[in-house]
Amino acid sequence: MLSNRSGLIETEDAEVYILDSSVVIKWFSAEDEPYLKEALLLRRGFLEQRWCLAIPDLVLYEVANVLHIKTPLTVRDVENALASLELMGLEVIFPELSLLCRAVFFAEEWGLSVYDAVFVALAEGTGFPLITADAECLRKLEGHRLPENLQVYLLQDLGLTESIL
């Protein structure tokens, strides 16, 4: 269903969370970005090895596009931002066809874009919770019968504070 550069995700008893692009892009956002503090605390917990963070490769394309199109960053700045994601050591997952097909099914069933549905399908396929800052995506899931192992959380509802780190 999926692969990453190192084979299987090695958790060593650490919790694993799937992040969508709406969370990762906040790491490169302006100080007035909503829920920036929570996104940075999530990243800090990862860097302190409190949990493992995984992303589908789609995040890299979406982050590059947003930084290029919607910010005043130079090409070199965008390149540096992408390099920092690589150096951070996030688990980058390369979805296989079966996961993409599941994403198309979820997109049709729940009115999501296929892009958003990839994150949902990845969370469902791995059993790892998905963390998003996209309240609209979560709203589209409400009222539907979701797979039992699918957990989706809003970044802003996680209760991340300095005191828990």
* Summary mean pLDDT of the chain: 90
Residue 142 lies in a domain: yes
Residue 144: pLDDT band with limits 50, 70, 90: confident
Structurally, how many domains does the chain consist of? 1
Query: Which residues span the domain enclosing 77?
Result: 14-160
* Strand order, beta sheet including 130-132: 2-4, 91-95, 51-56, 15-19, 130-132, 152-154
Residue 31 lies in a domain: yes
Residue 85 lies in a domain: yes
Residue 9 lies in a domain: no
> What's the half-sphere exposure (Cβ side, CA atoms, 13 Å) at 2?
26
The string of pLDDT tens digits covering residues 22-67 is 999 999 998 899 999 999 999 999 999 999 999 999 999 999 999 9
Residue 3 lies in a domain: no
The string of pLDDT tens digits covering residues 100-127 is 999 999 999 999 999 999 999 999 999 9
Residue 6 lies in a domain: no
Look up the CATH number of the domain holding residue 70: 3.40.50.1010
